[in-house]
Amino acid sequence: MKTTLFTTLFAASIVAAIPLQAVSSSSIESRQNGCVNSATDRGCWGEYSIDTDTYLTIPSTGVTREYWLSAEKAYLSPDGVEIEALTFNGTLPGPTITADWGDNLVIHVTNNLPDNGTTIHWHGMRQLGTSEADGVPGVTQCPIAPGETYTYRFHASQHGTTWYHSHFTLQYGDGMLGPLIINGPATANYDVDLGPVMLSDWSHESVFTLWYTAQQGAPPTLENGIINGLNTFGDLGKKTEFVFEQGKTYRMRLINSAIDGHFQFSIDGHSFQVIAADLVPIVPYNATSISISIGQRYDIIVEANATTTETTDFWMRAGWVTSCSDNDNSDDISAIIRYDNTSTADPTTTGETVGTNCGDEALASLVPHVSLDVGTFGDLNVADLFYEIGDSFTWTINSSSLLLDWAEPTNLRLLNGDDIWPTEYNVIPIDASATNNWAVFVIIDQTGFGITHPIHMHGHDFWVIGQSDETYDSDTVVFNLTNPPRRDVASLPGNGYLAIAFQIDNPGAWLLHCHIAWHASQGLALQFVESETSIVATFSDTAAIEETCDAWDEYVPVQAWAEDDSGI
């Protein structure tokens, strides 16, 4: 076990060192002297462990993992129906990117699409000191023009399960996404890591075509959903399959990578332990199903202890919650677990009834394992969510809908000393003061629609200090500042409010947005410009920022399509 772990930890070649703040170095020897991660000791991780506060302690393995990704069109049939997909390396999902906690990642993304720009966001990665690698067009960089390459360099300062996806308008809905796994310790033991389980909704028509109707307000109904890139559709297609060995325990890494789908995940005949919410290990709790909002991840441990006398085949269900959005194949988005790998039969098992929860798991269940309280903060930042109906439907935050100019990203403006922000950049400046270094942001749904919005923030995990479907009242609200749930996506309940707190410790321009792709395109987003005067000093490759914009400026006059949404 010892040999295996440290072989994988240090097998990758050392390519380049990335300058980072607050990186402590550790030698291979000291790590080998530490506690070794194994099936019966998952809390261990060399000289670090599951108890390490990942905000304070940033391990460095000295290892750089280098990847190449190609954004390209591909004809694929995930559910038996052939479509022209936009992909990474021609597959759906794209290649799994893996690293160990403390590694550096260097990912070269080449845009081989004939007629779209692109940028890649590494969802949930803290990007400490590397905001230029956050991959948001119009915020952190210009889109990568067709034929061009941009290199993303960042440090794996957290561990767990996440994903990467295009942040260029609706593009990930056509297939530009993949898993991103950072190996590290866990809060419960398991035998086998089964890897990512990506739950997506799926359209037989390009999301760019659907956008023409979506921008009028009503969300389109997609035809299907897929698990790890596969599902059936009527008699067509096939299901993803997993094999269990009786008595073993399996870690599964659930990722909701949908554009407009909320899932209640379950496995017939099995309950499971939930051990992490997004990139935050939690005190394990047991569940028979789990509500997973767009952009969220849950790591679960499933014990292969089903009764197999009647059947050896069980459905794994991405239960579609129809009260959040419609789907034509809502009762058949599933995969198969087999205890007998020679079986080809469809399971006949029955499972959990899908409920109506469009929001998150109960806050009380999501107790972070490393207990951290919210520190001193200044004035609250409060913004109302509303909407406008003009030529098209847009959401407004604090009276303004996000609209970014791809050619003038916030980072380029900062480089050029041009920080008179256009109103529609929805900038909230955030700065620490002598007495506090925490920010609190409250978003209040004033639309009256009653729709739940999964809110994702870049550059930070946030502390969920308030989440309610009741009317926000500043006089009576009580925030939970004592080790509240911590993660990077949390739901804003319909007609209610979401209050989050985060540490002002990472200079950069950080997007906060609804992860329903239609809503993001309709402007439900803003950006925190955090510690503005310190941002430019964090850039390690200003030439890359400028050259990407120069190439984009050259491409724009010949591009086939103009920006027709918020840009993200």
Ligand X SMILES: *[C@@H]1O[C@H](CO)[C@@H](O)[C@H](O)[C@H]1NC(C)=O
Alpha carbon separation from 167 to 15, 87, 141, 246, 459 (Å, rounded): 27, 13, 11, 41, 15
277 binds ligand X (CB under 6 A): no
Where b means 16+ CB within 10 Å and e means fewer, 429-439 reads ebebeeeebbb
- Contacts to Cu ion by CB under 5 A: 453, 514, 516, 519
Query: What does the per-residue mask of binding to ligand X show for 73-92, with x meaning CB under 6 A?
Result: ----------------x---
**Cβ contacts of residue 359 below 8 Å, gap of 6+?**
291, 293, 452, 467, 491, 493
Residue 56 partner contact from ligand X, Cu ion, none using kind-dependent CB cut-offs of 5 to 8 Å: none
Torsion sign across C-alpha atoms 154, 158, 161, 167: negative
Nearer to ligand X, 50 or 428 (CB): 428
Q: Are 83 and 166 in contact (CB under 8 A)?
A: no
Residue 95 partner contact from Cu ion, ligand X, none using kind-dependent CB cut-offs of 5 to 8 Å: ligand X
Residue 89 partner contact from ligand X, Cu ion, none using kind-dependent CB cut-offs of 5 to 8 Å: ligand X
Residue 453 partner contact from Cu ion, ligand X, none using kind-dependent CB cut-offs of 5 to 8 Å: Cu ion
Residue 519 partner contact from Cu ion, ligand X, none using kind-dependent CB cut-offs of 5 to 8 Å: Cu ion
State the CB neighbour count (10 A cutoff) for residue 391.
Answer: 7
Query: What does the per-residue mask of binding to ligand X show for 39-68, with x meaning CB under 6 A?
Result: ----------------------------xx
Single residue of 398, 437, 446, 468 touching ligand X by CB under 6 A: 398
Nearer to ligand X, 58 or 275 (CB): 275
Give the binding-site size for ligand X (rule: CB under 6 A): 34
Residue 126 partner contact from Cu ion, ligand X, none using kind-dependent CB cut-offs of 5 to 8 Å: none
Residue 319 partner contact from ligand X, Cu ion, none using kind-dependent CB cut-offs of 5 to 8 Å: none
Structure tokens at 146: 């067709």
Report the nearest approach of ligand X to the CB of residue 274 (Å): 10
Which of these ranges, 152-160, 267-275, 537-545, 550-558, lies near ligand X under the rule CB under 6 A? 267-275
Single residue of 364, 389, 434, 543 touching ligand X by CB under 6 A: 364
Where b means 16+ CB within 10 Å and e means fewer, 209-239 reads ebbeebbeeebbebbbbbbbbbbbbeeebeb
Q: For strands 508-514 and 453-457, give the pairing.
A: antiparallel
Nearer to Cu ion, 306 or 514 (CB): 514
26 binds ligand X (CB under 6 A): no
Report the nearest approach of Cu ion to the CB of residue 524 (Å): 5
Residue 67 partner contact from ligand X, Cu ion, none using kind-dependent CB cut-offs of 5 to 8 Å: ligand X
Nearer to Cu ion, 339 or 387 (CB): 387
Question: Which of these, 408, 419, 376, lies nearest to 533 by C-alpha position?
Answer: 419
Nearer to ligand X, 6 or 421 (CB): 421
d(CA 274, CA 302): 9
Structure tokens at 127: 């990007």
**Contacting ligand X within 498-557 (CB under 6 A):** none
Query: What does the per-residue mask of binding to ligand X show for 446-485, with x meaning CB under 6 A?
Result: ----------------------------------x-xxxx
**Cβ contacts of residue 11 below 8 Å, gap of 6+?**
none
Nearer to Cu ion, 354 or 514 (CB): 514
Q: For strands 192-202 and 104-111, give the pairing.
A: unpaired
Q: For strands 263-267 and 393-397, give the pairing.
A: unpaired
d(CA 503, CA 376): 10
State the CB neighbour count (10 A cutoff) for residue 362.
Answer: 11
Report the nearest approach of ligand X to the CB of residue 301 (Å): 7
Cis bond leading into 485, ω under 30°?
no
Question: Which of these, 161, 85, 87, 151, lies nearest to 123 by C-alpha position?
Answer: 161
Residue 115 partner contact from Cu ion, ligand X, none using kind-dependent CB cut-offs of 5 to 8 Å: ligand X
**Contacting ligand X within 428-447 (CB under 6 A):** 428
Structure tokens at 89: 């390396």
383 binds ligand X (CB under 6 A): yes
End-to-end CA distance of the chain: 44
Q: Which residues bind ligand X (CB under 6 A)?
A: 67-70, 89, 95, 115-116, 169, 206, 208, 271-273, 286, 303, 305, 341, 363-364, 366-367, 381-383, 398, 428, 480, 482-485, 561, 563
